[in-house]
Structure 1
Amino acid sequence: MVNQQRAGFVVVKPGPDQLLLDHLYIRPDCQGQGIGAAVLEKIFAEADAQAMPLRVGALRDSDSNRFYQRHGFQFLSEEEWDIYYIRSPR
């Protein structure tokens, strides 16, 4: 919450052999304040506790590609519209 308003939302879906970060959305006016990084740290802790890799996809031209790479995700594959990344458990 920022100024009593929801700053965004996150959806993590469990799978048999990995977690999928299906959505991580931070409102544009709340971006650049470390909120997304803080949310990722909590998700990383959960994934690490389960010894599960964390997978995420981003639209090809989205700034989120740099965000995920900065936070330790490695390129996995790409399709016409999306680029997929994975983070191994630590």
Structure 2
Amino acid sequence: MVDWEIRQASTGDVEAVAELRAVVLRTDLERLGRYDAQRVRQRLRDGFTPAHTWVVEAAGALAGCVALRPGADAHWLEHFYLDPALQGRGIGSAVLSMLLERCDRDGTAVRLNVLRGSRARELYARHGFTVESEDPVDVFMVRRPQPAQGPVTVGH
């Protein structure tokens, strides 16, 4: 696995993250007939909240980002993008595990939506997310808090 670090996002990260979003989502949005070069970036800018967003860096460069926004009955996992050149190397799974462990400790469910047909849906399913509903563009998923995995004891 590639060495990586995660840090709190700042307002100065917004344009780099918007560009990463455009690159990561382009293929799926084009497949769904929904790609618009300006809109894909503007939607990130409109929803970017540094207080709920982390930037993933590898070799000192932007490698990805993820947001975890508190909601009424769950946190929303949003803006989870990883540079295509780094996908499949365990970084996304490690970042997701870290965030989910925190939510499990707090007893908080996590919700997300993923584009229909996106490979990311497999990642989410491996981490315990299940489908709640679907529409022509998005699949809405939820993961309930998981109990802590303590040591296994044998006998009384």
> Considering the TM-score relative to the shorter chain, is it more than 0.5?
yes
**Offset of residue 16 of structure 1:** 2.1
**Aligned counterparts, 1:2-81, within 5 A:** 2-81=58-137
Q: Which has the higher strand share?
A: 1
Match of 2:4 in 1: none
**Offset of residue 33 of structure 1:** 1.1
Runs of 5+ in structure 1 lacking a partner?
Answer: none
Amino acid at match of 1:44: L
In 1, Cα distance between equivalents of 2:124 and 2:130: 8
Q: What TM-score, normalized to structure 1?
A: 0.93
**Offset of residue 6 of structure 1:** 1.5
Q: SS of the counterpart of 2:101?
A: helix
4+ runs of 1 displaced by more than 6 Å?
none
Pairwise CA RMSD of aligned residues?
Answer: 1.0
Amino acid at match of 1:86: V
In 2, Cα distance between equivalents of 1:49 and 1:67: 21
In 2, Cα distance between equivalents of 1:84 and 1:18: 13
Runs of 5+ in structure 2 lacking a partner?
Answer: 1-56, 147-156
Percent identical: 37
Structure possessing the higher radius of gyration over alpha carbons: 2
Preserved CA contact (<8 Å) 2:97 2:127: no
Match of 1:82 in 2: 138
Instruction: Indicate the structure whose relative CO is greater, using CA pairs within 8 Å and at least 6 residues apart.
Output: 1
In 1, Cα distance between equivalents of 2:126 and 2:97: 13
Match of 2:38 in 1: none
Count residues with an aligned counterpart: 90
In 2, Cα distance between equivalents of 1:17 and 1:61: 27
